[in-house]
Structure 1
C-alpha cells in the first residue's frame, strides 16, 4: 500500500501545482472581486503524508479504500458514472481537491479575501482518538500553529488568523474536549485552543454557540460529473413510485430504554401488523402498499453501500431522521437525494446546523418537524402526523426537496462547465466562509 500511496500523493501534488497556476492565469479579475482565496502552503506532514497511515488504526477502520478518486472512494460498480463508496470522513481530501479548481485562486496572500488551510484535521486527529497519542490530545493543532507562526508569519499576523478557514471532517464535538480534562475522555482540544479561536472551521456538525464553527453537508455517494448525469438522476427521482409512507435507515433503538429510535422501531413494527391500527386502512386508501420500512444499518453495514438504502428511500414519501450519538445524520442528505421528505425530531439535527445549504427560514417548505418528546413521552404517532398532511402539500414539499439537491451534493472534481454553473455544497461552503470572514475582518472581531 505504501508504494501505491506514494505514487498517488505525488500525482496529487503535481496536479495541485498545475491547477493552482492555471486557475490564477485564467480567472477574470472582475468576477473574482471579493472572492480571492490564497491556499496556504503547508508541509505534507499536515495533509498528504497523513494518508499513508490509512491502515494504522484498526480500532477505527482501514480507510485506504476510500482514498480513491481523491476522496470519493471507488465506484459502487464498474459501470457507475456518478455513484461512489464515499466515506464522509474523507471530506478534507475531497475539499482540497475541489478547491484547486476554484476559479479565484490568488498567489498573493496580502490581496486575498480568505486563506485556506489544507490541513487534514480529522485524519490527524486519529492518532489522538485511536492511536498512541491518546493521552496528548490537548496538543492537537499546536504543531500547525507553530508552523504558521514561524513560516511567513506576516500571513497570519495580518488579521491574527481571522481570514483563515479549514475543513474538519468530523463533528465539532470530536475537537472540543476541555483542555483541563486529564486524563482525556473523548476527542481532541483543537477547537478549545485560544490559538485557533479566530479560524473559521467547516465541520460535519457544529456546536450551537461558537461563531467559528459552521456545519456543511456530509458527503453522500452521488458525485455527478456533468449536467446530464445530474438531470438524469433528478428525472428518476421524479418518476419514482412512492409506495411506502415512511422509511428509517439506521441503527440503534433496539434496547428497551425509551428514546426516539426505539419509538420509531416500535411504531414501524406495529404498523406492519394488519390488525394493528386505524392508520392501516388510511394508508391503503392513500395508495400505499406499506406504512413503514426499516433499513437496518447497524454496525455500519450501510456506510459505503448506497444500494442498501437508496432504493427504499426512492420508494418512500418520508425519511425519518432521528438523532443518534450526535444530532445530525448523513442520511438526511441521502434522503434529499432520493426526493424523500425529511422528518426531523429536534432542531439541532439540521435547522440550526446547515444554514448555508438548507435555509433556516424555509424548513417548513421541505421538511416535517415532530418534537421527539411528543413521540417518546406522550405517545404521538408519527404515522398519524404524516398521513394528516394534504397530498398537494406533500407534492409541493417533494418538489422543494428536489430543488435543494444540487445544494447538498458534492459534484465530482473536473466537472463540465454546465454542471459547474450550478452551486453545489462545496461552492456554498466557500461562499459562506468568505462572507463570514469578510464580515468579521471588517468589524475587527478578532479574539
Structure 2
C-alpha cells in the first residue's frame, strides 16, 4: 500500500472516530434519550475494529477489484465526488453501504447507551468486506466459518446483550445479495459464497441485504445506493425539477451488459436484439427513437454515473432485466432519473423492496413483462410499451418522481429541511424496528420498556 493510500485510510478512520461527540459505537449516544423515542431506541454494539474499521485499512488490496477501492470508502461510504466541487454526486459503490449505514446511525436521534433499554441492537459489522477473503482470497475453502468469530465475541463480551433475546433484537447490514452468504455449511467442496446466513448462530437476527431470498424470514432487501446524496432540500428540489422537465426523446433504454450476439437465449439477448433492430426508428412526434442502448459491459458504468444518468433522463422507460441475480442497482438509478422501470420477473423488485416500493402501488409506477414471453414467444417489448396511453405514461412518470426521496440515501449531516424527508435509510430503520417488535411479540418475548 502506497503512502497516499495509507494517508487516505488513516484520515478515513480518524473521521469516524473524531466526529464531534461521537465514536463508532454506543458511546456516541446521548446520556438521556429524547422524548418521542419510545419504540425507536437503538443500541450500537461496541465491536472491536477487526469487525469494521480495521477492515478498511487494507482497502487498496481488496480482491477482485483492479483499482484502489479506498476511493469508494471516502466520505463515510459515499465515495469521492464525481467532479471537483460536486456536493450531491459521488462515485458510490454498493459495497460501501455498510460504512454509509454505520455513519448515518451515529447521527440517529434515539441512540441508547444502555442495551437493556433499547428496542433494537445494531451490529456495525462490515460483513461484505469481511467476506472478501472467503469469496476471493486465502479463506475460500473455509467459507463456512465466516461470522463465527463475531458470534464468539458477542457471546463472550457482555453476553447478556445477545442472550436477552437470543439475537432476535439484533440487526445488521449486508451490502451484497443474500445469496452470497447462504452457502450450505456442509457443502464439500464449498461452492460460491459464505455460510453466514445459514449457520444456526445467526438465524435469529435481521439482515438488511441488497437482495433477499424468498423464504428466510430474517432477510429483507433495501435499495442499492445510487450516486446521488443531496446535502439539503434545495439540492433535492433542483434535481427533481430537472427530472420533471427533462424531454423524453427515447421510448425505452437499456443500460447494462450481457446478452451479446451468439449467447444462449435469455432476456438480455432479446433486449439487445430488439433494441439494435429498431434503435433509430421514430414512433411518432413524441419520440426521436425507439430504443437507446448504453453498453456497460466490463463494469465501465459502475462508478461513472454520467454515462447512464443522462440517457436515463431522456427515456420514458428503463428496462431492468435480471442478470447474475434478479435485482439491479440500475433499478434505483432509473427511478432517480424519473424513468419508468420495466421488470421481467417479480424477484427483480416487487417481492424484494416492499418497505420502499409497496406492492399496492407497484403497478402505478412500473411495467412487468414476463421474460418467458419475450425470450420464447417472441413478444416485442416495444409493442407492449407503445400500447400504454401517453396520459398514463405521464402519470407513471410522476409516480416514479414521487419515489425519489424514498430510494435515495441523503448525505450525512444534511440540513434540517432535508432531514425531515424520509429517505431509504429512514424507511429501513423504521421498518426494521417494527419487524423486530413484531418478532418479539410473536415469540412472546417482552420488548424493552
TM-score range, shorter chain: over 0.9
2:299 alignment counterpart:
300
Q: Which blocks of at least 5 consecutive residues in structure 1 are unaligned? A: 275-279
Within 2, Cα distance between the matches of 1:234 and 1:271?
Answer: 31
- 2:199 is the alignment partner of 1:199: no
Aligned to 1:4: 8
Is this contact kept in 1: 2:405–2:421, CA < 8 A?
A: yes
Aligned to 1:288: 287
* Deviation at residue 21 of structure 1 after TM alignment: 6.0
Q: Please name the residue that 1:277 is paired with.
A: none
Distance 2:160 2:263 in 1: 58
- In terms of mean alpha carbon deviation, does 352-361 or 16-25 score higher? 16-25
Q: Greater CA deviation, 436-445 or 361-370?
A: 436-445
Q: Which residue does 2:404 correspond to in 1?
A: 405
Distance 1:235 1:163, change over 3 A: same
Contact 2:181–2:197, Cα closer than 8 Å, also in 1:
yes
Query: Which residue of the partner structure matches residue 263 of structure 1?
Result: 270
User: Are the equivalent residues in 2 in contact too, given 1:114–1:164 (CA < 8 A)?
Assistant: yes
Q: Distance in 1 between matches of 2:276 and 2:108?
A: 49
Number of matched residues? 437
Question: How far did 1:445 drift?
Answer: 7.3
Equivalent-residue separation in structure 1 for 2:363 and 2:225 (angstroms): 24
Assess, with a 3 A threshold, how the Cα gap between structure 1 residues 190 and 384 changes in structure 2: closer, same or farther: same
- Counterpart in the other structure of 1:422: 421
* Residue 136 (structure 1) aligned with residue 142 (structure 2): yes
In structure 1, what is the Cα distance between the partners aligned to 2:45 and 2:357? 29
1:54 equivalent in alignment to 2:54: no
Q: What pairs with 1:13-92 in structure 2 (closer than 5 Å)?
A: 13-15=17-19, 18=22, 24=30, 27-29=33-35, 31-61=36-66, 62-92=68-98
Taking structure 1 as reference, are residues 189 and 16 closer, same or farther at Cα in structure 2, changes over 3 Å only? farther
The answer on 1:104 being equivalent to 2:110 is yes
Query: Are the counterparts in 1 of residues 316 and 340 from structure 2 also a CA contact under 8 Å?
Result: yes
Structure 1 or 2: larger helix share? 1
Equivalent-residue separation in structure 2 for 1:33 and 1:119 (angstroms): 26
- In the TM superposition, what is the alpha-carbon distance from 1:23 to its structure 2 partner? 5.2
Q: Write the distance in 2 (CA, Å) between the matches of 1:328 and 1:95.
A: 20
Range with bigger deviation, 13-22 or 153-162? 13-22
Output the CA distance in 1 between the equivalents of 2:236 and 2:52: 31
Kindly provide the CA deviation profile for residues 2-28 of structure 1, in whole angstroms up to 9, marking residues without a partner as x. Answer: 343123213312328527667525752
Higher mean C-alpha displacement, 108-117 vs 48-57: 48-57
Counterpart check, 1:155 vs 2:154: no
Matching residue of 2:328: 329
Unpaired stretches in structure 2, ≥5 consecutive residues: none
Q: Which moved more, 1:291-300 or 1:58-67?
A: 58-67
Secondary structure in 2 aligned to 1:71? coil
What is the distance in 2 between the residues matched to 1:66 and 1:211? 31
For residue 164 of structure 1, what is the aligned residue in structure 2? 170
Q: Provide the alpha-carbon RMSD of the alignment.
A: 1.5
Cα deviation, 1:94-139, whole Å, max 9, x if unaligned, reads 0000000111001110011000000000000001111111111100
Distance of aligned partners of 1:2 and 1:72 in 2 relative to their CA distance in 1, 3 Å threshold:
same
CA distance in 2, matches of 1:172, 1:320: 23
The CA deviation at 1:411 is 0.2
